[in-house]
Structure 1
Amino acid sequence: MLYPLVSIVSLCWNRKDDMYESLKRIREIEYENLEVIVVDNDSTDGTIEMIEREFPEVKLIKMYKNLGIEAYNVGFKNAKGKYIVIIDDDSFPKKDAIKKMVEKFEKDESLGIVAFDVRNFYKYDDIKKTDYEEKNGVEEREYLMSFNGAGAGIRKDLFEKVGFYPEEFFLYFNEPDVAIKVLDLGYKIKYFSDIVSYHKFSPKNRVSWRAPFYYTRNAFWFIWKNYPMKLALKTTIKLVYSCFYYSLEQKTNIYLKAMFSAFKDINRIKGKRKPVRLEIAENLRIPFYLSFTFYR
Structure 2
Amino acid sequence: MNETTVVVATRNRRDRLLEALGRCDAPVIVVDNGSTDGTPDAVRARFPEVRVVPLTRNTGAAARNIGVELARTPFVAFADDDSYWAPGALARAAELMRAYPSTGLLAARVLVGAEERLDPVSRSMAAAPLGDGPDQPGPSVLGFLACSVVVRRVAFRAVGGFDPVLRVYGEEALFALDLAAAGWRLAYVPELVVHHFPERAGRDRSARQRMETRNRLLTALLRRPAAVVARTALAALRDPAGRPGVWAAARELGWAIRHRRRLPAEVEAARARLDRWDAEPAFAAGDQRVAL
Tell me whether the two structures share a fold, i.e. TM-score over 0.5.
yes
The letter of the residue matching 1:50 is A
Aligned to 2:122: none
1:244 corresponds to 2:237: yes
Aligned to 2:20: 22
Matched residues in 2 for 1:144 and 1:110: separation? 14
Same amino acid, percent of matched pairs:
22
Higher mean C-alpha deviation, range 184-193 or range 111-120: 184-193
Q: Any residues of structure 2 matched to 1:40-189 within 5 Å, and which? A: 40-124=32-116, 142-189=139-186
Matched residues in 1 for 2:228 and 2:195: separation? 34
Q: Deviations over 1:23-50 (max 9, x none)?
A: 0000xx2xxxx42100001111222221
1:5 to 3, 6, 10: 3
CA shift, 1:74, in A, is 1.3
- Partner-residue secondary structure (3-state), 2:190: strand
1:262 to 246, 249, 267: 249
Is the CA contact 1:5–1:35 (under 8 Å) kept in the aligned structure 2? no
User: Structure 1: which 4+ aligned runs deviate by more than 6 Å?
Assistant: 286-290
Matched residues in 1 for 2:38 and 2:107: separation? 32
Is the CA contact 2:213–2:246 (under 8 Å) kept in the aligned structure 1? yes
C-alpha change, 1:282 and 1:161, in structure 2 (3 Å) is same
Q: Deviations over 1:143-179 (max 9, x none)?
A: 4432211111010000000101111101122211111
Q: Deviations over 1:166-203 (max 9, x none)?
A: 11101122211111111122221111111101111346
Q: Deviations over 1:219-278 (max 9, x none)?
A: 111011112xxxx2212222222223211xxxx4xx222212212222333542221113
Give the unaligned 5+ runs of structure 1: 128-138
Is the CA contact 2:140–2:188 (under 8 Å) kept in the aligned structure 1? no
Matched residues in 1 for 2:60 and 2:117: separation? 31
Matched residues in 1 for 2:226 and 2:39: separation? 44
1:274 to 249, 257, 261: 261
Structure with max Cα Rg:
1
Q: Deviations over 1:49-85 (max 9, x none)?
A: 2101101000000000111112221111111110010
Q: Any residues of structure 2 matched to 1:212-231 within 5 Å, and which? A: 212-227=209-224
- Partner-residue secondary structure (3-state), 1:8: strand
Please report the RMSD computed on the Cα atoms of aligned residues, expressed in angstroms: 2.6
Is the CA contact 2:104–2:152 (under 8 Å) kept in the aligned structure 1? yes
CA shift, 1:119, in A, is 1.1
Is the CA contact 2:220–2:232 (under 8 Å) kept in the aligned structure 1? no
Matched residues in 2 for 1:271 and 1:59: separation? 36
The letter of the residue matching 2:250 is F
Matched residues in 2 for 1:12 and 1:39: separation? 6
- Partner-residue secondary structure (3-state), 1:109: coil
Is the CA contact 1:25–1:92 (under 8 Å) kept in the aligned structure 2? yes
Is the CA contact 1:35–1:81 (under 8 Å) kept in the aligned structure 2? no
CA shift, 1:6, in A, is 1.3
Matched residues in 2 for 1:215 and 1:62: separation? 26
Aligned to 1:134: none
Is the CA contact 2:211–2:245 (under 8 Å) kept in the aligned structure 1? yes
Give the unaligned 5+ runs of structure 2: 120-135, 287-292
The letter of the residue matching 1:183 is A
Aligned to 1:35: 27
CA shift, 1:4, in A, is 5.3
Q: Deviations over 1:127-148 (max 9, x none)?
A: 9xxxxxxxxxxx9864443221
Matched residues in 2 for 1:147 and 1:110: separation? 18
